[in-house]
Structure 1
Amino acid sequence: MTATYTIEEQVRKLDAITNHEEKLYKILELYLELFPTQDASLYRYSPIGYFGEGIISLSAKGLRHIREKRDDIRGYSFLQDVIRERKAKYCSGIEFFKQTSSNYPHSSNAHAVLVSPICYGSVVIGFISSKEFHTGAIIDDEILASVTLYGKLVGKFIEDYQRVENSLQLSKRELEVMKKIAWGESTKEMADSMNISELTVKQYVKSAIQKLGANNRSHAVGELYRQGII
């Protein structure tokens, strides 16, 4: 059984790490230590296009980059449920093969999948996927609740860290606007939630695009993803 306080204590250890890539590695390493999984793949998620983009994967074979993996999650009802409900989910056996398609990458001996959303507040910013488990592992409601908690704690950690480390290039407001764009919010929605005019939102967007040397909003969001800022 993974106690809540143990998960919180372990995530707090991430604060001592200063390198961005090492932090991402440690997030997966902790995941493998805390839960009965033998592999973990970290993905970004953006509601713009509903894309999940691979970052890194960790298993007994070591660490590898999975940036070539980029899928529209609307093709996978299982992933849609995880993101919509913001809760970890597990499926195995026949249900696993029903929920995945020939395009969904898994080894020939894979028969189950566990996916945990990484959340910041009510927004899903990524997810961790596992398809290999300890012998005899039972993924019950208690484990799923713990995995869900881990995703929430990691999401808050990532956002808090990136806010401090990456706000030098963009102003606080510019960065806030660009994150909201990445989350799929419209100009009007941003103006309402930030209590500013739509014109001011557009000005923040324009200045952020210029600072990033981007051609448009999508290019700017892509650059922020590339730099690991969002």
Structure 2
Amino acid sequence: MPASSLKLEQFLAELSEEKNQEQQILKSLKGFFSFFPFSRLSLFSYSPINYMSELLFFLQSDGSLFPSEKIREDVRNVPPVFSAIHNRKASYIELNPGNASFPEKYVEKYKLSSLLVVPLKKGSMVIGCVLIDGYTGKKPFQEPMLKKIEEYFRLAFNSIVSKEAKVHHAKLSNREIQVLEMLSIGLDTKEMAGKMAISEFTARDYISSAMKKLGVRHRAQAIAVAVRSGLIS
């Protein structure tokens, strides 16, 4: 086994041992710089319901966090990012001067010349993305490295999600998971009650209980957490 592969396996094993999910996420982002020559990256959440993406973390290659700021965008207004998310495939973008496809305010503020967009997937659904810039490699950036980066985040993200799934699955009953699955395909409480042979009141009770255990306030959030953590597909 190549030394680099062994090193990555060791890193992923250490990642899975982190008890706190935020620590897992930060460790995976900081670990990226140990394997790939880039100077900055940012992690964004993404909602396939309303296409909104929001900044969660912004890191430099030394592992330090950039000062937090509020960035929230409809990705349909950023065609290169929307294209990568829509195709569920990592993409490397050259940002030439006057490139109207990417907001000039970000190009100027962060002095961007290129950008790597890596969608984060749970099954076939994209629920986040990593934006990477500042390539510092000695050779021109090429497709093989793009594939390796995509695989790195796939393995790291799956490690985080699988642990989250175990935690949530232990909290929720089979009935609570069942109502979340039905919510995700658009059934209302009356339809759920009919399929489960229970009253509408009981169906609503299962939904409320699931939301409370997941720590969310809205049904859409409950569905998003359930999908992200692998409770439902």
* TM-score category, normalised to shorter length: 0.7 to 0.9
SS at match of 2:42: strand
Q: What's the CA shift for 1:79?
A: 1.2
1:113–1:187 Cα change, 3 Å: same
SS at match of 1:42: strand
Contact 2:16 2:160 in 1 (8 A): no
2:77 pairs with 1:53: no
Aligned partner of 1:187 in structure 2 is 186
1:43–1:171 Cα change, 3 Å: farther
1:19-48 deviations in Å (ceiling 9; x for gaps):
222211111111111112111111222212
What is the aligned-residue identity percentage?
Answer: 24
Q: What's the CA shift for 1:2?
A: 10
1:48-87 deviations in Å (ceiling 9; x for gaps):
2112122112104712474722221111111122112222
Contact 2:216 2:222 in 1 (8 A): yes
Aligned partner of 2:147 in structure 1 is 145
Partners in 2 of 1:12 and 1:70 — Cα distance? Answer: 33
1:10–1:52 Cα change, 3 Å: same
Contact 1:53 1:69 in 2 (8 A): yes
5+ long unaligned stretches in structure 1:
189-195
Moved over 6 A (4+): 198-201
1:213–1:19 Cα change, 3 Å: closer
Of residues 94, 97, 121, the one that matches 1:92 is 94
Alignment of 1:62-77 (within 5 A): 62-64=64-66, 66=68, 68-77=70-79
Contact 1:39 1:132 in 2 (8 A): yes
Contact 1:56 1:67 in 2 (8 A): no
SS at match of 1:126: strand
Partners in 1 of 2:3 and 2:120 — Cα distance? Answer: 18
TM-score (norm 1): 0.74
SS at match of 2:96: helix
Q: What's the CA shift for 1:112?
A: 0.9
Q: What's the CA shift for 1:220?
A: 4.6
Contact 1:52 1:71 in 2 (8 A): yes
Aligned partner of 1:191 in structure 2 is none
The aligned amino acid for 2:143 is: D
Q: What's the CA shift for 1:96?
A: 8.4
Aligned partner of 1:118 in structure 2 is 120
Count of matched residue positions in the alignment of Structure 1 and Structure 2? 217
1:5–1:97 Cα change, 3 Å: farther
Contact 1:127 1:151 in 2 (8 A): no
The aligned amino acid for 1:53 is: E
Q: What's the CA shift for 1:178?
A: 4.8
2:25 pairs with 1:43: no
Of residues 152, 156, 159, the one that matches 2:158 is 156
SS at match of 1:159: helix
Partners in 2 of 1:9 and 1:174 — Cα distance? Answer: 36
Aligned partner of 2:29 in structure 1 is 28
Question: Which structure has the greater CA radius of gyration?
Answer: 2
1:210–1:108 Cα change, 3 Å: closer
Partners in 1 of 2:171 and 2:111 — Cα distance? Answer: 46
TM-score (norm 2): 0.73
